Amino acid sequence: MAHTVDISRIITGTGTIWQGDTPGTGNDNESGSSVSSIRLSETYKRVKLPKGNGIVFVVAKGNNVYDMSQLVESITWSGAKSSMPRTLEVTMLDSDRKGHARPDINIEAGQQCLFLYNGKELFRGILFGSSQSVSRSATYKAYDAGIYLAKNMDTFVFKKKTATQIFQAICKRFGLDHTEVSTGYTINDLTMQNVTAADAIWKALSKTFKAKGKRYYVYCEKGILKLIARADNMVQIVIEEGANTIDFTREISLENTYTRVKLYSDENKVLASAKDTKIEAKIGVMQYTEQGDSEKSSASLQSKAKNLLAIKKKTEETLEVEMIGDATIHSGVAVYVNLPYLGIKKTYYVDEDEHTFTNGMHTMRLKLNAANEVYDDESDDDD
């Protein structure tokens, strides 16, 4: 049965000790207007959570925290590189029969939740939706702090800023806790009107990748948004046939492959180009064009064309794996894969993940992409 604990004081009982704060508010943006959001990193800052194996699911309602772990039937924890927030879906018993407990969660109240598995925090976020059925069960959907980047729209104008600086400024504008690494590449201009904060950050990261060939992504941990280099986040887990895999499928495609790249000016003048004649001898000419920045030096433009070709000429390879669950593996990280049947022994990025926790079991489905990166010099000079 669900129980409530007053987080304004310490209570000890049945192995559970709680102490915490109520949510705070965010900071002002750079223009001085007040734009704030709930600080998910503050809600459980001084809460000491239950220890032990299995599922722990708690919901914060005002100054109280409710442990609803005993009502949980299943949990799905998922994310994708194309989606800024991670998602939690929790299915719980919701019986109106005498003697049975009900979750009694109010979606409109902005209630927050926390999910731990085997003593490790995997998710904290805000409850966003619910559904109930005749089977006397209820499913609740929650998002982590990335939802504030996905839901907040604005006009963004940045001149000569790195993706790191753009990420910092956007998080500050919407009052979001954050940490970041240096992306090292200066973007001359990034102007976007009536788009989400997530769109602006993705654009900055895309520009950085095309120029330098290094991938970055945003991940939320304990309510804090983190800008991380994908190559620096290698999980020391081997996905291996016969060891931890249940099923796998590989797809190889030339649908998005190009053998030539050209960068054009606004006046339709070719600023830089690159091609791979060896691949063209096999599959023919496939040309990709993109707008270039005529203010940049010829060397910088040629470097961008070269890096862009290195990205575009790759054969697209995706691998979908169903396997025994491991909570350290999620979208954005890199893993090593050993599947002899497919002749695979190399590193892949996790593009999508879906973890399922039910009946004492943890399984996951992963969509992987071959980790092909191009490294240029790390100069932060954009000219």
Give pLDDT tens digits for 277-292: 999 999 999 999 999 8
Letter string b/e over residues 147-157, b meaning 16 or more CB atoms within 10 A of that residue's CB: bbbebbebebe
Whether residue 67 is predicted with pLDDT greater than 90 in this model: the reply is: no
User: pLDDT-derived band of residue 362, with 50, 70 and 90 as boundaries?
Assistant: very high
* Amino acid identity, position 249: T
**Distance, CA of 51 to CA of 172 (rounded, Å):** 34
Phi, psi of 147 (to 5 degrees): -65, -25
Which has more confidence, 42 or 34? 42
Q: What is the pLDDT of residues 238-292, one digit of tens each?
A: 999 989 999 999 999 999 999 999 999 989 999 999 999 999 999 999 999 999 8
Whether residue 11 is predicted with pLDDT greater than 70 in this model: the reply is: no
Tokens of 31: 């223009």
Whether residue 374 is predicted with pLDDT greater than 70 in this model: the reply is: no
**Does the 233-253+315-370 domain belong in CATH 2.40.30.150?**
yes
Beta-ladder partners of 141: 89, 129
3-state secondary structure (DSSP) of residue 259: coil
Q: CB within 8 A of 221, min separation 6: which ones?
A: none
Please give the mean pLDDT across all residues of the chain: 83
**Distance, CA of 227 to CA of 176 (rounded, Å):** 13
Q: How far is CA 274 from CA 12, 39, 257, 310, in A?
A: 67, 47, 14, 9
Per-residue pLDDT at 378: 34
**Distance, CA of 117 to CA of 115 (rounded, Å):** 7
- β-strand 216-221 against 234-240: which pairing, if any? unpaired
Q: Do domains 149-230 and 233-253+315-370 have the same CATH topology?
A: no
Which has more confidence, 65 or 101? 65
Phi, psi of 372 (to 5 degrees): -100, 110
From 4-8, 74-78, 160-164, 310-314, the region with the lowest mean pLDDT: 4-8
Torsion sign, CA atoms 196, 201, 202, 207:
positive
Torsion sign, CA atoms 289, 214, 347, 277:
positive
Domain ranges of the chain: 3-144, 149-230, 233-253+315-370, 260-312
**Distance, CA of 121 to CA of 54 (rounded, Å):** 12
Q: What is the pLDDT of residues 177-234, one digit of tens each?
A: 999 999 999 999 999 999 999 999 999 999 999 888 888 999 999 999 999 998 778 8
**Distance, CA of 145 to CA of 281 (rounded, Å):** 48
Q: Do residues 2 and 101 make contact, with C-beta atoms less than 8 angstroms apart?
A: yes
The CATH number assigned to the domain with range 149-230 reads 3.55.50.10
Tokens of 342: 């497919």
